[in-house]
Amino acid sequence: MSHQKELDEVLSLVETLCTAEQIRDLLRTRKGNENIRITAEDKDDLVGRNLRTALETKAIEIEKAFDLIRDAEENGNQHIFYYRASQKLADTLTFEHVAKQLWGASWNKTVAEFPSIRLKPDSYKISDFRLFSTRKPKDWILKIYGQKTIMRPTGKTDTESDGSVWRQFIPENLRIVLSARWNAPDLLEIRIQRSESRKHVEEWYDQVWSTLSQAVTRDQFKPWELKTAMRNIALQAEENAEIYDFRDVGVVDDINEIFGSFQAFSDEGNLFKSQLTRDAVKGFLESGGDLNSLAVRWFARPTSEPQEEMKTLLGVRRKLHEVLVAGHCKAGDLDYVTSQLRAFSKTKS
Amino acid sequence: MSPVSFEHLAKQNPKYKRAIEQLQAWVNAHPQDRVLNPLKLRKDIRNVNPAELTMALDLLRKAGLLHRVYKVVTPAGVLADAEFDDPTAIPDKLPDRFEEYFETSDADVIPVFRRIA
């Protein structure tokens, strides 16, 4: 990172995406160094003066700032579409193999240039490709940045004398972060940032597959549907009361094409506090019904993951392989949820 | 979570002592509930006049024990996840519990209290 402009962009991203506490935590890792200052009047100073000085003087390596950005933008506040690979396909999906398919023989040179933080106006580009975690050496992540100019309604209107109405829209630059994460041994996660527009979510989802197409295609995978996991999570809730609870379920009788839902009034509610609801959901499942949606809250644990409470919606718009992760979270916490889904997919109630 | 005590506030405000004590009992009986909905409290605490309950909630807010926030009711009649310090900051669209976005212009907005202590 030698260019001033790029450093400016890194700092701008850190300021937008990270909390002041996260930035202070990073600075504290080198407390005692003469170029490290932790206290600041406000976040502007914390980033513009303290972190800038630390990075310019190399008291903190730029890679640490990238890690901060990665943590903030790659995990959570997103839709995750799960796909399962056959054993044969999974064996081929190594970091090197995928890199070679995407960039050819000189992939090493391209990958060494990552991460790239610049956006391409009204377009998409691969911004990062790296091994995901030291704990799981076969896992990798490919990240895509996009930028799109959208017209946002301001809510202002103007009515003319003939009754016609003008609505004001202003252009806004939307920053898009998409990724494909290989979660060994057999899962591919397509991660799409949350949006109020389903059209955007689907367009971005197609974009990830399009970017991956030199290496893998969608029809090589099977959607990993969470039908069994949802059923087991619901039916085993009482014995796992220390691990999770849930407040909303979508129920479905596929044969008769009947859909319904139970929702606790409070956003912090727990459906199984009600004996009546518990009996109804269990009875429905035991009589052959299924769930097509389940809002699960995974409790934080003091000594292991998840470090913070996680809110997830399993099954979105009747897509059983789609999960919504409501807020930003740590990479390990999100992996914890996927591990739980794997476990609940295997067990039988 | 350790039990909450509003005892000091109850002593300072003898007129609302009973309401404050009932709120303390409710909070201690619902340690997982970080949000207090006045409508639910009125149903659960029937032996206190609603006006006194409202005043007691306001005293807790002024004492810094509660923070007033605004929640939007979804078309299904439950509370959406998002909460706002200022009702004018509510966006035009919000997701319901199943990630279906709805127009907020026709939705009910209710004030609730988030626990700080």
Nearest-Cα residue of chain A relative to residue B77:
A265
pLDDT for A50 equals 93
**B79 and B42 within one domain:** no
**B60 and B34 within one domain:** yes
Q: Is residue B90 part of a domain?
A: yes
pLDDT for A347 equals 64
Instruction: Please name the amino acid found at residue A272.
Output: F
Instruction: Count residue pairs from A and B with Cβ separation < 8 A.
Output: 52
pLDDT for A3 equals 67
Q: Is residue B86 part of a domain?
A: yes
- Domain-ending residue, one of B49, B65, B81: B65
**B75 and B59 within one domain:** no
**B20 and B61 within one domain:** yes
Distances (CA, A) of A99 to A81, A96, A186, B37: 22, 5, 18, 53
Residue A85 and residue A343: Cα distance in Å, rounded?
Answer: 17
Q: What is the pLDDT along chain A (349 residues), one digit of tens a residue?
A: 456 777 888 898 898 888 888 899 999 999 888 999 999 888 899 999 999 999 999 999 988 998 888 888 888 899 999 999 999 999 999 999 999 999 999 999 999 999 888 777 788 999 999 998 888 999 999 999 999 888 887 878 899 988 888 988 998 888 899 999 999 999 999 999 999 889 999 999 999 999 999 999 999 999 999 999 999 999 999 899 999 999 999 999 988 889 999 999 888 888 888 889 989 999 999 999 999 999 999 999 988 889 889 999 999 988 999 999 998 888 889 999 999 999 999 866 5
Token pair in block for residue A274? 């009600």
Q: Is residue B33 part of a domain?
A: yes
**Which residues contact residue A160 at a Cβ distance below 8 angstroms, ignoring those fewer than 6 apart?**
A166
**B16 and B52 within one domain:** yes
Q: Is residue B2 part of a domain?
A: no
Optimal mutation site among B43, B70, B97, B104, interface A, most CBs of chain A within 10 A: B97
The partner residues of A246 in beta bridges, in order of sequence, read: A296
Residue A340 and residue A18: Cα distance in Å, rounded?
Answer: 28
DSSP 3-state assignment of A32?
A: coil
pLDDT for A1 equals 47
pLDDT for A2 equals 52
pTM listed for this prediction:
0.87
| Residues from B in contact with A at Cβ < 8 Å | 32-35, 37, 40, 71, 76-81, 92-93, 95, 97-101
Distances (CA, A) of B43 to A8, A253, B33, B58: 55, 35, 16, 18
Does the beta-carbon distance from B99 to A317 stay under 8 Å? Answer: yes
**B72 and B41 within one domain:** no
CB atoms within 10 A of CB A233: 26
**B61 and B44 within one domain:** yes
Q: Is residue B81 part of a domain?
A: yes
Contact residues on chain B for A263, CB-CB shorter than 8 A? 76, 78, 97
**B75 and B50 within one domain:** no
Beta strands in chain A (DSSP E): 76-84, 124-131, 140-159, 165-183, 187-193, 222-223, 244-253, 258-263, 290-298, 310-316, 319-328
Contact residues on chain B for A196, CB-CB shorter than 8 A? 93, 95, 101
**B14 and B43 within one domain:** yes
Distance from CA of A139 to the nearest CA of B (A): 29
Distance from CA of A264 to the nearest CA of B (A): 7
**Which residues contact residue A98 at a Cβ distance below 8 angstroms, ignoring those fewer than 6 apart?**
A129, A140, A142, A182, A215, A216
**B99 and B78 within one domain:** yes
**B73 and B42 within one domain:** no
Residues of chain B with pLDDT under 70: 1-4, 117
Token pair in block for residue B45? 């605490």
**B72 and B61 within one domain:** no
| Residues from A in contact with B at Cβ < 8 Å | 153, 155, 196, 247-248, 250, 261, 263-268, 270, 293, 295, 311, 313, 316-317, 324, 326
Nearest-Cα residue of chain B relative to residue A269:
B33
Number of domains present in the structure of chain B = 2
pLDDT for A185 equals 95
Contact residues on chain B for A266, CB-CB shorter than 8 A? 33, 35, 37, 40, 78-79
pLDDT for A349 equals 57
Domain that holds residue B37: 7-65
Does the beta-carbon distance from A261 to B76 stay under 8 Å? Answer: yes
